[in-house]
Amino acid sequence: MCGIMAYIGDKPAKNIVYNGLKRLEYRGYDSVGIATLGETLKVVKAVGDTSKLNLNLIDSRAKLAIGHTRWATHGEPSKNNAHPHTYGSITLVHNGIIENYETIKKTIKATDLKSQTDSEVLAALIDYYYQKSQDILEATRQALSEVKGTFGIALITKDNPEILIVARRGSPILIGIGNNQYFIASDQSAILDHTNQVIYLEDDQLAEIKPSSIDIYDLKLSVQDIDIKTLDNDSKNLDLGDYQNFLEKEIYEQPEALNNVMRGRVSSDGSIVLGGPNLTQADILNLKQILIIGCGSAYYAGYYGKYVLEKILNIPVSVEHASEFRYRYGAFNKENCLAIFISQSGETADTIASLREAKRRGLKTIGIVNSVGSTIAREVTHGGIYLHAGNESSVASTKAYSSMVVALLMLGGFMSYKQGKDSAICQNIASELLKLPNEIYLSLQLHSKITKLSKQITKFNDCFYLGRGVLYAVAQEGALKLSEVAQVHAQALPIGEIKHGPIALVDNNLLSVILLPEDNLLYNKGLSTLEEVKARNGQVLTISTRPKEPLSDFHLQLSHLGEFSDGLIYNVSLQLLTLELAKNKRLNIDRPRNLAKSVTVE
Ligand code: F6R
């Protein structure tokens, strides 16, 4: 959510920052800007994405630049509200929210602000102290000590093209290290072309960076140790290749992503070994409650996990929206409750806040995270599982979601084995998982059929997604994807709930997508809902491992693998359907309106 890219070094900075911003655009794309500092300060801004910037207006030779791609919080998307913001001697880019900006504005009597943003107020506050001390590090320290809220910032002073200051609280900042050059970014995708050596700035740290040196401080200006990490990703999956959009590319990358998350963990002898979670056998045997916490698709992956973990571990599992959990009063016994935090980015503000709340309550915490070295991965108490799904560029999550579900299935198999349960459970999960990448590959072959189907249902603007058990979890994920990417209003319901109210909405204009399971009893229960909807003149698309029912209007038949993993095969068909509906409507597939990936503000 908002992307920051900055550079200081011995090379021209403009294109490095511009190309980095292009990689970060999925974090926000309503306005954009770059400031270069050479002999003079030059700033260019535009409404829209990076393609709207006139790069001729900034300095091609400057070796210091800061840039920003915005997802609006305070103030509409406009040139004035776009970053960088200059106030007095300070030019700054900011990701986060300054909660006390109104108070600050009054205290420092900043009356000549040009934008409606909290970020410009922060620039004014830093300038206020800078005018007194002429010391940029001290001025930033003083200002940040007064600020309430979250920030990732990069700032320069017009007087000194040899100093770049960066700081963070809540919003990620990482610093890539090259030869006599530093690359600052909100996430690694922006810097992977240049270096794999990085420093993750921690909360309330600020760094003073010169072309050939870096010093990191806390907010009392005590010098901090520098811990350099090596990124294990490379930049190869950051480009589109032959695909038209990243969503399609990432849907097609799922077989590979699933092989990656299982590599070295699931074996053909039926064992599942996870080295990441630091849970002893006693920890697992003592467990009486599991919480799964995340947002959006990560939450829905958790929902899928809930059904499986409860069944095989015989422990109650509740799934919590991180935005709720962080403020929730609940009775959790710290001795025997495990909280699992799921996040692709590892930087989602609500999930981080919930993790800190869970730690405050003394719970054991593990992470299921894609982004290596991210805040959640670093802050969990008992390790976790990295997804190794590679970069996910499209705003809507696809391959990370599937990998999260597989990680939860592996965790279930692993824990049931440690519980001393019948080893057949773990073996069954392992055997299904090993076949899953190929099954997903085969279900991608349904693409042309789904394209045809999409043409028949593009007319519907309202949908119910109905399922039971893991297929209810899949219905939730499918409805989210349809709403955000294809801009079709979609509501997921447990199939049995429709007659308790929502059926009032059923008519010829509403499409009910019914996910019918393989299981005989539940399949037949699902058929009753099909009949009830048809009796009210509703339109129905059934998706099932069995052939078409005479009553259904549209049908998609899928292959059957097993009770644990079938849901992911259904999910791929829903992903492809969403993709094709969005194409039919000529929407921006990778950057749906009003959205941004990695929601680092509350
Ligand atoms: C939906 C989507 C979002 C994210 C959510 C959590 O397609 O991508 O709902 O799943 O913002 O993000 P992470 O997983 O980064 O915590």
The string of pLDDT tens digits covering residues 27-66 is 888 899 999 999 999 999 999 989 999 999 999 999 999 9
The string of pLDDT tens digits covering residues 358-382 is 999 999 999 999 988 889 999 999 9
In angstroms, the CA 589 to CA 485 distance is 6
Whether the CB of 301 sits within 6 Å of ligand 1: no
CA distances to 170, 243, 352 from 347, rounded to whole Å, are 8, 28, 7
Whether the CB of 600 sits within 6 Å of ligand 1: no
Using the mean position of ligand 1's atoms as its centre, give its distance from the Cα of residue 404 in Å: 11
Q: What is the pTM of this model?
A: 0.86
Whether the CB of 354 sits within 6 Å of ligand 1: no
In eight-state DSSP terms, residue 223 is: B
Whether the CB of 297 sits within 6 Å of ligand 1: yes
Percent of the chain scored above 90 by pLDDT?
A: 87
Whether the CB of 344 sits within 6 Å of ligand 1: yes
Whether the CB of 376 sits within 6 Å of ligand 1: no
Using the mean position of ligand 1's atoms as its centre, give its distance from the Cα of residue 470 in Å: 19
Q: Nearest residue CA, atom 6 of ligand 1?
A: 295
CA distances to 349, 407, 480 from 327, rounded to whole Å, are 13, 27, 24
Domains of the chain, each with CATH number or no CATH: 3-231 (3.60.20.10), 240-444 (3.40.50.10490), 445-587 (3.40.50.10490)
Q: Nearest residue CA, atom 1 of ligand 1?
A: 396
Which residue in this structure is represented by tokens 């070796």? 63
CB-CB neighbours of 526 under 10 Å: 23
Report CA dihedral (288, 294, 300, 304) to the nearest 10 degrees: -30
Query: Which stretches of 223-342 are DSSP H helices?
Result: 246-252, 254-262, 281-286, 296-313, 322-325
Average pLDDT, the chain: 94
Q: Candidates 295, 379, 593, 602: which one to mutate for ligand 1, based on the most atoms within 8 Å of Cβ? A: 295
Using the mean position of ligand 1's atoms as its centre, give its distance from the Cα of residue 320 in Å: 14
In angstroms, the CA 455 to CA 363 distance is 49
Give the residue, 333 or 248, on which the prediction is more confident.
248
Name the residues annotated as catalytic. Answer: 2, 597
The string of pLDDT tens digits covering residues 456-489 is 999 999 999 999 999 999 999 999 999 999 999 9
Q: Nearest residue CA, atom 7 of ligand 1?
A: 396
Whether 541 shows a pLDDT value over 80: the answer reads yes
